[in-house]
Structure 1
Amino acid sequence: MPRNPGPSAEVSAEFTDFVSRASASPDVLGLVLSGSRARRGMATARSDHDVYVIIADDRAGVPPAVAEGRRSPALDVMPLSLSEFRAHALPGDTYAWDRYAFVHSQVLLDRLGGTITRLVGEKAVLDDPEAHQLVRSELDAYINSLYRSLKSHRDGRPDVAHLDAAESVPYLLTVVFALHQRVRPYNKYLPWELAHHPLGAPQWAADALLPRILRVVADGDPATQRALFATVEDAARQAGHASVIDSWGTDIELLRPGGRPAPADRAAGESRG
């Protein structure tokens, strides 16, 4: 039987009717509620209900109960076969960007004895190998964007330095969350995630991290960028990722508070930045 959709803004009659109709179809194996309606305190009167519908692989086409009213002001329905759902939002999938949709999502129907719930759970967190690899790749990308930004500041190009500073933020946030085996939230949910599901250490608290992030996006302030990097570097080294940072050699000094600038003609640094 479908579960209660949980606390949010008022549940629409259209959503309730859809869940009842979809649940009555034998071709529907699972229903997963995502979006603002699945996260306490995020829904507004204008929030729709984002529902993933998992359909049996041997079903030809979308069941009528699902096809009706797939998109409206109250509903946004994504039908997926079971095979598609297994890979959906995972690394290598076209919809890998959609992974955070399953963090804090609610399984409304699971006709497979817990399989749908298990698949949702696997999408909602990063396992050890995935988190380790993600930190290493995104940390290097973060350092690269940060280096470009601070090098441009050094060379009197504040406008492009600001652009690279803003570009570094998604990499930085991915690293911070991956260090905790967490999926980076969509920007809309970042303050909510930090407030309701904190990362633990005080430097990652919403009132500590968000002002720094917003300052970097606002103007690319070099001092703020360096202070953020110092925090990230310390956490990354403690987690065993020192080799990524050390691979930058002396160029990394440009990124540290009070550090000396890297030589402008350093071949290795210039090729990466």
Structure 2
Amino acid sequence: MTAQEHLTYDAFVALAAADPAVVGLVLKGSQAHEGMTTEHSDHDLYVILADGATTELARFTGHRTPELDLVILSLDEFRAAGMPGFERYALARARIVLDRLGGVIAQILADKTRLAADEAFHEADAWLDAYANSLYRSVKNDRDGHALAARLDAADSVRFLLELLFALDRRPRPYNKYLEWELARFPLPGWDTELLLDAANHISATGDVPTQRRLFAQVEAAARRAGHDAVLDAWGDDLRLMRPQ
């Protein structure tokens, strides 16, 4: 093994904290989610450099071991990370290890936790339509005797549903690993967490049509309250197949 491969998290943090080019360190992943670490958990660390700065730490670019994964980037690049993108949730719940900018790093992370109103509305429109599409296909396939297709479409619908519900609350959707963690600490307004997770689990496992329809009734009401009537009304008479019978 090389010396780089032997580098520990604590040793690297000490190196970075002593380097004036480093303006922030941000830890994401399991280590930033209380109670989620296991013996297999590594440390995923963003190393944020002052714009235009050079540093010998650049030699660790791409460093990845079972203990430590590093992402080294400029302040501007960090500000743009996950905006939009898959990393947004990870950064929204990340933990600050070092902020040399008097709260700037903290504000950047805070900005990632909340979708802009227009952004959230447009995302919710798209996810609502995708959810309705998969739900409709699932119910129709069940009616027509295509059991596997019905279950697969039902499982797809749960993904779109979760994206929709978090967009309605102007939040990035958590990764599946952190869904229960997130909802236990930050419930979705108007939703009973236990009932929602039970329904998602049951639908994903079985494609049960009555459960899908009951859940859709709640989703339709919430979506209409949030102003998404146009997406729903575009489905016309097909809504009857999705609603409770």
Q: Work out whether the TM-score is over 0.5.
A: yes
Give the structure 1 partner of residue 63 of structure 2.
Answer: 70
Q: In 1, are the aligned partners of 2:29 and 2:43 still within 8 Å (CA)?
A: yes
> Residue 223 of structure 1 aligns to which amino acid in structure 2?
P
Aligned mates of 1:66, 1:121 — CA distance in 2: 30
Give the structure 2 partner of residue 156 of structure 1.
Answer: 145
Mark the runs of 5 or more structure 2 residues left unpaired by the alignment. Answer: 1-6
Give the structure 1 partner of residue 79 of structure 2.
Answer: 86
Q: Name the SS of the counterpart of 1:97 in structure 2.
A: coil
1:244 aligns with 2:231: yes
- TM-score of the superposed pair, with normalisation by structure 1: 0.82
1:126 aligns with 2:123: no
Aligned mates of 1:67, 1:82 — CA distance in 2: 17
| Structure 1 position 37, deviation (Å) | 1.1
Q: 1:56 to 1:247 in 2, by over 3 A?
A: same
> Residue 86 of structure 1 aligns to which amino acid in structure 2?
R
The count of residues paired between Structure 1 and Structure 2 equals 239
Q: 1:185 to 1:34 in 2, by over 3 A?
A: same
Q: 1:176 to 1:68 in 2, by over 3 A?
A: closer
| Structure 1 position 83, deviation (Å) | 2.4
Q: Name the SS of the counterpart of 1:199 in structure 2.
A: coil
Q: Given the alignment, which residue of 213, 216, 219 partners 2:206? A: 219
Percent identical: 50
Give the structure 2 partner of residue 210 of structure 1.
Answer: 197
1:41 aligns with 2:35: yes
Give the structure 2 partner of residue 31 of structure 1.
Answer: 25
| Structure 1 position 100, deviation (Å) | 0.8
Give the structure 1 partner of residue 88 of structure 2.
Answer: 99
Aligned mates of 1:113, 1:97 — CA distance in 2: 27
- TM-score of the superposed pair, with normalisation by structure 2: 0.91
| Structure 1 position 66, deviation (Å) | 6.6
Mark the runs of 5 or more structure 1 residues left unpaired by the alignment. Answer: 1-12, 259-273
Aligned mates of 1:69, 1:170 — CA distance in 2: 31
Q: In 2, are the aligned partners of 1:37 and 1:49 still within 8 Å (CA)?
A: yes
Give CA deviations for 1:203-239 in whole Å, capped at 9, x if unaligned.
Answer: 341x111111111111211111111111111111111
Give the structure 2 partner of residue 267 of structure 1.
Answer: none
